[in-house]
Amino acid sequence: MAQAAVSEGNVLGWAKTDKRRMLHVVYRVGNLDKTIKFYTECLGMKLLRRRDIPEESYANAFLGYGPEDSHFVVELTYNYGVDKYDIGTGFGHFGIAVEDVAKTVDLVKAKGGKVTREPGPVKGGKTVIAFIEDPDGYKFELLERGPTPEPLCQVMLRVGDLDRSIKFYEKAFGMELLRKRDNPDYKYTIAMMGYGPEDKSAVLELTYNYGVMEYDKGNGYAQIAIGTDDVYKTAEAIRLCGGKITREPGPLPVINTKITACLDPDGWKSVWLLTTKILDHLRYCS
């Protein structure tokens, strides 16, 4: 028992010192060309790479504000013949930091985009925000900030037990609780989790709505990919914290990239990639 406790302590302690970074977020779209056009023209993203896999009936594209080896990016997946997905009630939004929210909203409107919240201060605060939707209905929160190295700055997911989720992401994922805010007037609480400050790195925004324990995840949003130095230790830490391993750690066929995959306590999926081989994972993550 003592030996097991020491082993557990070593694994969970290592999770906080591992060189981890949120790499990309994966979700499905119904028209790849249309979505790429919207992201590049309205949101200022760059198309980093694109690949068509006809033998497996899908195509994907990576877009973002800088190279994949240093920035958080989106991976769009199009499955042949599927033009619509159910986003569900669990996924919330992506966050993008812009220097002028009103100007960005005007551009979105000019390109035919949908604005669901006009620019203005966030409730109970001073930060100017707005909400828009992409062609598939995924929501984006525009946050007015000064220049930042990581404009694609948030992924918001809803959870059924915020304290449980915070504990899991701190211990199993080695993330830091950056801030927590309760809003009883609107009956929700949020927690920002990540590997660096919100103004310089991408973070995970976990939202708990009072009394809601479960959510419909739909079939549009897929997963977040995170870089790690050791997929085997990562998988063990996740197990120790109650997460479910859905792909045992090990190399992918042919390309030899080591990966593992897991579900958090609410069933949200993450894929972990050996950081020295992050560009070789494309086949699996699509």
8 is known to lie in a ligand binding site: no
HEC string for the chain: CHHHHHHHHHHHHHHHHCCCEEEEEEEECCCHHHHHHHHHHHCCCEEEEEEEEHHHCEEEEEEECCCCCCCCEEEEEEECCCCCCCCCCCEEEEEEEECCHHHHHHHHHHCCCEEEEEEEECCCCCCEEEEEECCCCCEEEEEECCCCCCCEEEEEEECCCHHHHHHHHHHCCCCEEEEEEEECCCCEEEEEEECCCCCCCCEEEEEEECCCCCCCCCCCEEEEEEEECCHHHHHHHHHHCCCEEEEEEEECCCCCCEEEEEECCCCCEEEEEEHHHHHHCHHHHC
141 is known to lie in a ligand binding site: yes
Q: Look up 118 and say whether it is catalytic.
A: no
Q: Which residues pair with 237 in a beta bridge?
A: none
Catalytic option among 55, 118, 141, 144: 141
Task: Report the alpha-carbon distance of residue 43 to residue 49 in Å, rounded.
Answer: 17
Token pair recorded at residue 139: 């929501």
93 is known to lie in a ligand binding site: yes
Contact assessment for residue 142 and residue 105, using Cβ atoms and an 8 Å cutoff: yes
- Contacts of residue 244, Cβ cutoff 8 Å, sequence gap at least 6: 262, 263
Please report, in range form, the residues annotated as the binding site: 75, 93, 141
Which sequence positions are flagged as catalytic? 141
The annotated binding site for Zn(2+) is made up of: 75, 93, 141
